[in-house]
Amino acid sequence: MRPRAAVIRRWDDGRVIARQPLADACERNFGAPYYHCHRAELLDVLSAAVPGSVLHLDHRCVGLTQRGDRVEVQFHSGATADADVVVRADGIHSTVREAILGPESPRFSGHVAYRGLVPTACVAALGIEVVASSWWGRTITSFIISLAPARATSIGS
């Protein structure tokens, strides 16, 4: 989905505070499009672009060993993989991040996000503009982002 703009609104009356053009403006200014997509869709696109033998989904990384210009990745199952590049997508308790940066102790920031997906058909009658909309208040921010016109709209606070 190519949102036309990022729009920031006041939480109490919906008045627009700021509007930043995206879509065509990003292509013109940076030479590349700006997209919103659901994580599963991004994973589908990435996995279709590489041979299946180099992508290891549903594997928990438990260790990395640098071997010259290559990396051996060790998985919980006992399997290993040899790679030139390791893409970290293993969450807050990241084995990959720890191997690169050393141990860290994540701490709760006091902030919580609630997110959900709504089928686009359920909100189509609302006439929601294809933009990244957010409503900012003193202590809370809410958002609506169109992810795929025929599939889902992401909402959260």
**Residue 33, H or E segment:** none
The percent of residues in the chain predicted with pLDDT above 90, rounded, is 29
Q: 152: closest CA among 49, 68, 37? A: 37
Q: Average pLDDT of 135-154?
A: 79
pTM, full prediction: 0.66
Highest averaged pLDDT of the listed ranges 4-8, 95-99, 150-154: 4-8
Instruction: Please check the confidence at residue 153 and state whether its pLDDT lies above 80.
Output: no
Assess whether pLDDT exceeds 80 at residue 88. Answer: no
Band (1; pLDDT cuts 50, 70, 90): confident
Give catalytic residues, as residue numbers: 115
Structure tokens at 20: 């930043």
Helix (H) or strand (E) holding 120: helix 120-123
What is the tens place of the pLDDT at every residue in 92-138?
778 888 888 888 888 888 888 888 888 888 888 888 788 888 999 98
